[in-house]
Amino acid sequence: MVHLTSIAAFIAIPFVAFSLPGSFFPSIAARAVTTVNAGAGAVGKGSGGQFTVGGCISDADCGSKCCAGGAVSGISGRTNVGVCSGVGGGVENQNGKTGCGFVDPNANLTLQENAAQVKKQGF
């Protein structure tokens, strides 16, 4: 009987290791969204032409009408920039995003960085 208990305990160890909460692995649990550089030309236009995961300074930039804060700039690595997000099912609040309605407090800097990126990549 002792051997059977020891075997059961040994088998249970891997399951315990994989059932640890996400907060135990913060780099996995809270990975921030990074904006895609290809959309640099649409940032700040306010025409709703920006695609999901492209940068934004307000909801007006995004085709989804949802600019969420909490992203990382794919251009400069700056944090707490806007990213166009899908809407519904809570996706606008996943991966560190702060939900729709973000208005970039550093809009001028964001626009300068995106203008430089457009010049660099040619579109």
- CA dist 68 and 99 (Å) reads 5
Phi-psi region of 43 (alpha: psi -120 to 50; beta: other; left: phi over 0): beta
Say how many domains are in the chain.
1
Q: Does residue 51 lie in a domain region? A: yes
Beta-carbon contacts of 86 under 8 Å, excluding residues fewer than 6 positions away, are 52, 64, 66, 92
Q: Does residue 43 lie in a domain region? A: yes
Strand, coil or helix: 75:
coil
CA nearest to 92, candidates 33, 37, 49: 33
Range of the domain at 67: 31-121
Share of the chain above pLDDT 70, in %: 76
Q: What is the pLDDT of residues 49-98, one digit of tens each?
A: 999 999 999 999 999 999 999 999 999 999 999 999 999 999 999 999 99
